[in-house]
C-alpha cells in the first residue's frame, strides 16, 4: 500500500492505495470517502503546474502514473451536487440498457429537469412524466425504487435484491456471465458508488414479476427485460436511459399531479410503440429529450494517447490501446 496526499476543499488528508493492483475506480472511491465529492464530479490534478488526470475508472491505477507519497489536488468539477446531502438515487459504464455493466463511475448525467418542471408527453390516461433522480451512481437502483417501492430511499435495498439473486443462482449468474468472480461482483454491486446495467435489470424484472422497458434517449431503442413467463404479472414499468444515467418515467393523471398520484406500473398492451400507447409515449419522451441533447455517448468521445499521440475514440479503444502498448496516459481532444 502506498500513501498519497490529498489537498481538497476540506483541508489536507492522506489515503492508502495499492498502486499495483488497484483501479482508478478504487482511487475515486477513496477520495470520495474523505472529500464527499462524488467520483463523477471529481477534478483530480497532480504535478507542477497541476494538470487534471484523465480518470477512466476501468483502467488500472498505474494508468495515472502516480508514485508513493505523491500529492493530489482534488476539487469539485462544478457539475451537480458535491456531497452526500443529495438523496440516494446512475456500474458502471459504457454499458447501455442492453449491455453488461463494466465500470463503476461516470460523468454527471445531462438529463436534468427544466425550470418549468420535468418533461412529459401526453398519452392515454394522462401524461408520461420524466422522473429525474440524483446523479450519484445509484440512479438505476433509485429509479427502480421509485417504480416498485414508491420510495427512492430504498435504493440500497434494491442492490441487496440483486446481490441475493446472484448469490442464490450460481448457474444463471456464473462468472462467465458476470465477467468477474461472483463474490467480487456481489461485494461491488452492494457499494453505493457502483452503478448497474443489464444484469441488474434482468434480475429485478424477475424479482418483481414485471417487465422493465428501458428507452435509450440517443437512439430511441427500447430494451425489454421480462420476467419468466409463468410468473409474469402482465405489467410493465418504464426507465429512461441517457447513455450514462437511468431515470424513471411514471404516468400522471394530469400534467401537474403530485408524484404520490402517479401510476408507476402499467398493464402491457403490446410489445412495440405501434401496439402499446405507453411504449409509444416512452419513445416520444425519448425523442423530446434527444432534441434537448439530453444524452451522452461515451463510446464516441475522443481521446489522445499522451505517450504516442495516437487518436482514440471512447473508453473501449483506450482500454484496448493500453493493453496492447502499455501506454496509460490519455487526454481528451
Q: What is the DSSP string of 182-250?
A: HHHHHHHHTSTT----HHHHHHHHHHHTSEEEEEETTT--EEEE---GGG--SEEEEEEE-SS-EEEEE
For the ranges 90-94, 101-105, 206-210, the maximum mean pLDDT occurs at 206-210
Catalytic residue among 8, 119, 135, 139: 139
pLDDT at 106 (0 to 100) = 44
196: left (phi over 0), alpha (psi -120 to 50) or beta: beta
Catalytic residue among 135, 136, 216, 247: 136
* Residue 262 bears catalytic tag: no
Catalytic residue among 8, 76, 245, 262: 245
Angle between helix 155-168 and 139-149 (nearest 10): 100
* Residue 327 bears catalytic tag: yes
134-138, 266-270, 313-317: range with lowest mean pLDDT:
313-317
Q: Note the pLDDT tens digit of each residue in 225-238.
A: 999 999 999 999 99
Note the pTM of the prediction, 2 decimals: 0.63
Spans of all domains in the chain: 1-84, 120-291, 299-333
* Residue 136 bears catalytic tag: yes
Residue 110's pLDDT band (boundaries 50, 70, 90)? very low
Residue 25's pLDDT band (boundaries 50, 70, 90)? confident
What is the assigned CATH class of domain 120-291?
alpha beta
Q: Note the pLDDT tens digit of each residue in 33-62.
A: 888 888 878 889 888 677 888 888 778 898
Residue 325's DSSP bridge partners are: none
Sign of CA dihedral 317, 322, 323, 324: positive
Residue 315's pLDDT band (boundaries 50, 70, 90)? low
Q: Note the pLDDT tens digit of each residue in 162-209.
A: 999 999 999 999 988 888 899 999 999 999 878 789 999 999 999 999
> In whole angstroms, what is the distance from residue 94 CA to residue 299 CA?
7
94, 60 contact by CB (below 8 A): no
pLDDT of 141 above 80: yes
Catalytic residue among 76, 262, 321, 327: 327
Q: Does residue 260 sit in helix, strand or coil?
A: helix
pLDDT of 276 above 50: yes
Mean pLDDT, the chain, whole residue set: 82
Grid cell 401510476 in the structure block, residue: 263
CATH topology for the 1-84 domain: Ubiquitin-like (UB roll) (3.10.20)
Q: Which three cell numbers stand for residue 23?
A: 483501479
Top pLDDT among 61 and 301 is at 61
20-34, 224-238, 262-276: range with lowest mean pLDDT:
20-34
* Residue 245 bears catalytic tag: yes
Angle between helix 155-168 and 198-208 (nearest 10): 90
DSSP string, 78-119: SSS--STTSPP----TT--TTS----S--PPPS---BTTB--
Amino acid at each position: 500500500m502506498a500513501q498519497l496526499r490529498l489537498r481538497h476543499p476540506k483541508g489536507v488528508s492522506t489515503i492508502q492505495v495499492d498502486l499495483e493492483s488497484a483501479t482508478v475506480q478504487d482511487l475515486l472511491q477513496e477520495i470520495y470517502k474523505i472529500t464527499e465529492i462524488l467520483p463523477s464530479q471529481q477534478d483530480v490534478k497532480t504535478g507542477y503546474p497541476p494538470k487534471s488526470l484523465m480518470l477512466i475508472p476501468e483502467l488500472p491505477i498505474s494508468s495515472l502514473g502516480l508514485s508513493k507519497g505523491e500529492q493530489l489536488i482534488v476539487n469539485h468539477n462544478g457539475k451537480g451536487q458535491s456531497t452526500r446531502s443529495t438523496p440516494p438515487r446512475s456500474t458502471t459504464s459504457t454499458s447501455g440498457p442492453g449491455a453488461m455493466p463494466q465500470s463503476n463511475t461516470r460523468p454527471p448525467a445531462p438529463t436534468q429537469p427544466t425550470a418549468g418542471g420535468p418533461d412529459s408527453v401526453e398519452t392515454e390516461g394522462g401524461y408520461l412524466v420524466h422522473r429525474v433522480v440524483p446523479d450519484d451512481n445509484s440512479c438505476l437502483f433509485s429509479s427502480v425504487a421509485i417504480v416498485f417501492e414508491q420510495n427512492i430511499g430504498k435504493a440500497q435495498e434494491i442492490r441487496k435484491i440483486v446481490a441475493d439473486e446472484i448469490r442464490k443462482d450460481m448457474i444463471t449468474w456464473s462468472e462467465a456471465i458476470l465477467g468477474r468472480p461472483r463474490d467480487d461482483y456481489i461485494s461491488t454491486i452492494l457499494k453505493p458508488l457502483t452503478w448497474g446495467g443489464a444484469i441488474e435489470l434482468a434480475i429485478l424484472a424477475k424479482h418483481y414479476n414485471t417487465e422493465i422497458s428501458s428507452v435509450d434517449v440517443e437512439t430511441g431503442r427500447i430494451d425489454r427485460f421480462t420476467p419468466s413467463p409463468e410468473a409474469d404479472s402482465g405489467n410493465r414499468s418504464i426507465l429512461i436511459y441517457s447513455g450514462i444515467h437511468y431515470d424513471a418515467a411514471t404516468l400522471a393523471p394530469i400534467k401537474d399531479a403530485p408524484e404520490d398520484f402517479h401510476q408507476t406500473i402499467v398493464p402491457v398492451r403490446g410489445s412495440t410503440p405501434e401496439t402499446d400507447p405507453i411504449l409509444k409515449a416512452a419513445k416520444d419522451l425519448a425523442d423530446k429529450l434527444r432534441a434537448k441533447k439530453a444524452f451522452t455517448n461515451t463510446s464516441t468521445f475522443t481521446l489522445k494517447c499522451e505517450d504516442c499521440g495516437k487518436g482514440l475514440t471512447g473508453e473501449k479503444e483506450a482500454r484496448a490501446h493500453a493493453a496492447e502498448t502499455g501506454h496509460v496516459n490519455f487526454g481528451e481532444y
